[in-house]
Chains A and B, each alone.
Chain A
Amino acid sequence: MVRRWLVAMTAVVMVFALVLAACSGKKESSSQPSASPSASTGGQSSSSDQSGSRDKVTFRMFVAVQGEKDVNTNETVIGKILEEQTGVNFRIEHLVGDLQTKIGTMVAGKDYPDVLVPDDGIETVIKAGGFIDLTPYIDNDKYPNIKKVYGPYKNLMTWDDGKIYIFPFSVVVNDYIGDPNINQGAFWIQRRVLEWANFPKIKTVDQYFQLIEDFINAHPNEDLIGFITLTDGWRFFATTNVPNHLAGYPNDGEVMVDMNTFEARIYAGTEWDKRWWQKLNELNAKGLFYKASFTDNYDQYIANLTSHKVLGFFDYGWQVGNATAVLNDAARADPSQDGYRYFPLPVVFDENIKDQYLDPIGYVANRGFGITVNAKDPERIIEFIDHLLKEETQILLNWGIEGETYIRDSNGRLTRTQEMIDKMDQKFLEEYGFTVFDWDWPHWGSNSTLSDGNAVIPGMQPEVFQLSLTDADKKFLSAYGVKSYAELFADPDPRPWFPAWGIPRDEERQLFEALKGDVQREYLPKLVLSKPEEFESIWNQYVSALNRLDIAGYEKWYTEKVQAVMAKAQGQ
């Protein structure tokens, strides 16, 4: 009996010891790369299994964006070619769960991958000293392509402490080309509504809602929803940004910037804000507003957009991509379904306001790609980036391989055949590597052009856009006398600070935004869902709750930042 106890005991103890050993073993292996950068800056003979610098190497990359697949770049067609050219492979991991928690643990434990795309967590990583200084590589003749793409932006890329930590994503190379599609904000309306009303010109928000109301009155038995809005989690800005756009400003985040004085003012609690919420309040009183907008999550919102019941909504094109793709596919398979797709409209408050829905040539300073202090071989990564930024490589990453995924016509214009477009479903794009190399790498910004005038991004190329149009699309566009959706919208005025949300915020400003968001979360539903006669008193409560926050400090801080960017941009 005693012996059996002992055997069991020893087993338990051994298991425990194993667990302990496994834990500590992991610690050691993860701390090894962090110890090596000082010894291996030259890039040779640092790790025992690599002797020559041209040997194959795998770097770890973490991208703080949810919902994408983890992948080795060399498992894709494009990534394989890049590996053959440079010997470099990246193992990409994506975010699961909460961004701040993940970045926080990474920083606290100094457990960085080789390269990091921290999305919203960028200030935290920089403040904690997680990134190496890129200054020596930007204007360096050893890296001609980096110099060509990022050299002109050197001033804007420089952080307050005089160093450069990230390669931003929105740098324009060569001539600027606009997006023919609407991927940014717009008021969307179901296409059958426009067709039913014989393609009316819609300019103001009153006309927009009147049209929806008329359509519902003409179709009383269809159980239709007039207007819906998205309020889930961080996507709440799709609801709060609306008055800003209606007043004729682009998406500068929480503020509108005066074009003459360059003063930044928040629009929450202003007359613009009041006008919009009063409008929704009236809409709700008529039974045209979808009440559960304020309780539904993102998935339910997307499901509603594909239900054929929703006539109108405001959102950013990229945010409803899942819904519009489903509707597009259905309409391609069965053209009678086309009426359930959505059409973008540049709606504003008054006839005399110029819409500014299209993004100006912008520069986002606080999103980018950085090399961490744990990186095994920063020089090698920089070399790889220089290779990525070559014009040929950019063509490979965006257009693919000639004859396979694009053709060059007799005029030297790049385009695709219908056949090529048809085979490019999501699965193909992933396996080929287009989705892997789309945004999270140092690249020529989406609005760039090649040296021969072709667009870098196929979606921006007019020829490709025309090919993507269905007969119904062409009917709608010609009814409005335009060739692309973007032509419906006014050209953007130059705003060098744009987007203001791309200016890194400090702790106090972040706290202000969190508090402001909570005030809005509480009061906006009340404003919309209350009885019209109660609106005024709730509005006053909302404004006084907002006024308890440090609005003046926030505006002052933002004004200074905007004016600093203006000075920097003009100083170049």
Chain B
Amino acid sequence: MEHPLMLKPTSAATVDTKTGGLKRFFRLLWKQRALVLMSVPFVLWLFLFRYVPLWGWIISFQDYQLGKGLWDQEWVGFKQFEALFNEPRFWRALRNTIVMSFINLVLGFTTAITLALLLNELRQIVFKRVVQTISYLPHFISWVVAAGIIQVTLAPDGIVNELLLRLGLIKDELLFLGIGEWFWGIYGVSIVWKDVGWNAIIYLAAIAMIDPSLYEAAEMDGANRFRKMWHVTLPGIRPVIVVLLILNIGYLLESGFEPQFLLGNGMNMRYSENIDIFVLKYGIQLFNFSLAVAAGMFRTVVSVILLVIANSIARRLNETRLY
């Protein structure tokens, strides 16, 4: 996950003299030995827990039976993948995963950035702290509890129905979680409610790093608040936004598990069942681990491709902006 801005100087430094490259590399290595040593445990951790388990992928090419050794299993080639790709449910789960991730991505970014910008403009420190605390508190509620709150709120005798009835907007109570088409909307709102404050923190930190003299200069030029936001604050946090965006695109096929599992039911299944739930239902709960691994493998491969594409696009955009 090299951030393009960080990559630039080192690559420029090593490329210019090809003959002395190796020598320079070791000199640099020696100079930064402390940093390198410190990173060793984490590289080891990464290798041990993220790369070593990958060999388990081989069971997706087997008809894995519990209790037998890995090498005593029957090899079935791409049978599991065929089963997966011929299953209409899987494609539906994939669609739901992508749509919900996309909702998460778009809403997550816009609301968090907006909240950070607004909070940054507040002069009243006490009010700012209160708003910030209230907005990030839901992040610490477990999804089990949060889903309970959402279910009660949206119940036929819940506050939302009560309100709409009193206002005369609806004649009968609505069963919000029973209307499949609305699940994505409910999901989006829940995600924003739960995570907007938490996600805004990193942008607030980035805003705090912006050089105050830029604001002063903008003010001298007669910029009002919105101009300053647009021309100083937003460009100032742009690198952070881009890096987070790339990271999140890597997670596009992981739309989470808990909200869909806890808020999902038979009536909204067509819209709430994502890959995680598909894997749980038809892989793990039926002890069909091979199918589960095949689905996980498919997801990882697509994620890596998406990540590489997003990264290269971002790099290109950054370069045009830099030069």
Interface residues of A (CB under 8 A from B): 2, 5-6, 8-9, 12-13, 16, 98, 100-101, 104, 107-108, 110, 124, 127-130, 231, 291-292, 294-297, 299-300, 507, 510-511, 514, 518, 520-522, 524-526, 529
Please name all residues of chain A whose beta carbon is closer than 8 Å to the beta carbon of B151 when the two chains form the complex: 295-297, 300
* Minimum Cβ distance to chain B for residue A119 (Å): 13
Contacting residues, chain A, for B267 (C-beta < 8 A): 294-295, 522, 525-526
Nearest CB on A from B33, distance (A): 9
Beta-carbon contact of A12 and B41 below 8 Å: yes
Contact partners of A124 in chain B: CB under 8 A: 66, 287
Contact B282 A514 (CB under 8 A): yes
Q: Give Cα distance in the complex from A210 to B219, angstroms.
A: 77
Which B267-308 residues have a C-beta within 8 angstroms of A? 267, 269-270, 280-282, 284-289
Contact (Cβ within 8 A) A12 B265: no
Q: How far is the CA of A127 from the CA of B64 in the complex (A)?
A: 12
Contact across chains for B38 and A12 when beta carbons are under 8 A apart = yes
B67–A9 CB distance below 8 A: no
A510: nearest chain-B partner, CB-CB: B286
The CA of A12 and the CA of B262, in the complex, are separated in Å by: 40
Which residue of chain A lies nearest to B285 when distances are taken between CB atoms in the complex? Answer: A100
Q: Name the contact of B175 in the complex, choosing from A100, A292, A299, A521 (C-beta under 8 A).
A: A292
Interface of B is mostly: helix
Inter-chain contact total with CB atoms closer than 8 Å? 103
Sampled A-B contacts (29; CB under 8 Å): A9-B34, A9-B37, A12-B38, A13-B40, A16-B41, A98-B280, A100-B285, A100-B286, A104-B284, A108-B289, A128-B65, A231-B265, A231-B266, A291-B175, A291-B178, A294-B178, A294-B267, A295-B177, A295-B178, A300-B152, A507-B286, A507-B287, A511-B282, A511-B286, A514-B285, A518-B266, A518-B281, A522-B269, A524-B266
> Does B76 sit at the interface, judged by CB under 8 A?
no
Residue pair B67, A522 in contact (C-beta under 8 Å): no
Task: Specify which chain A residues have a CB less than 8 angstroms from the CB of B287 in the assembled complex.
Answer: 100, 104, 124, 507
Q: For residue A17, give the distance in angstroms from its CB to the closest CB of chain B.
A: 9
**Distance between Cα atoms of A110 and B68 in the complex (Å):** 10
Q: Within the complex, what minimum Cβ distance (angstroms) separates B190 from chain A?
A: 14
Please give the distance in Å from A508's CB to the nearest CB on chain B. Answer: 10
Hey, which chain A residues are within 8 Å of B177, CB to CB?
Answer: 295
Q: Which residue of B lies closest to A519 (CB)?
A: B266
In whole Å, how far is B264's beta carbon from the nearest beta carbon of chain A?
A: 10
Provide the bound-state CA to CA distance between A108 and B44, in Å.
25
Contact, CB under 8 Å: A525 / B41? no
Q: Which of A110, A231, A292 contacts B155 (CB 8 A)?
A: A292
A101 touches B266 (CB 8 A): no
Please encode chain B, from 227 to 267, with 1 for each CB lying within 8 Å of some chain A CB and 0 for all others. 00000000000000000000000000000000000100111
With A100-B286, A107-B66, A295-B267 already in contact, 12 other A-B pairs whose C-beta atoms are closer than 8 Å: A2-B34, A8-B38, A9-B37, A108-B66, A128-B67, A292-B175, A295-B177, A295-B265, A297-B148, A507-B288, A518-B269, A525-B265
Q: Which chain A residue shows the least CB distance to B34? A: A5
Interface residue total, chain B, C-beta cutoff 8 A = 35
Nearest chain A CB to B220 CB, angstrom units: 42
The verdict on B4 contacting chain A, using a C-beta distance below 8 Å, is no
**Chain A residue at minimum C-beta to C-beta distance from B289:** A104
Complex contacts, B288 vs chain A, CB 8 Å = 507
Please report the C-alpha to C-alpha distance between residue A529 and residue B175 in the assembled complex, in whole angstroms: 10
Specify which chain B residues have a CB less than 8 angstroms from the CB of A522 in the assembled complex: 266-267, 269-270
Instruction: Find chain A residues with CB under 8 A from B138 CB.
Output: none
Q: In the complex, how many angstroms separate the beta carbon of A562 from the nearest chain B beta carbon?
A: 23
For the complex of A and B, list the 5 residue pairs with the smallest distance between their C-beta atoms, beginning with the closest. A128-B67, A521-B266, A5-B34, A295-B177, A16-B41
* Cβ contact within 8 Å between B270 and A130: no
Instruction: Decide if A107 touches B265 in the complex (CB within 8 Å).
Output: no
A522 to B89, CA, bound (A): 13
List the B side residues contacting A12 at CB < 8 Å.
Answer: 38, 41
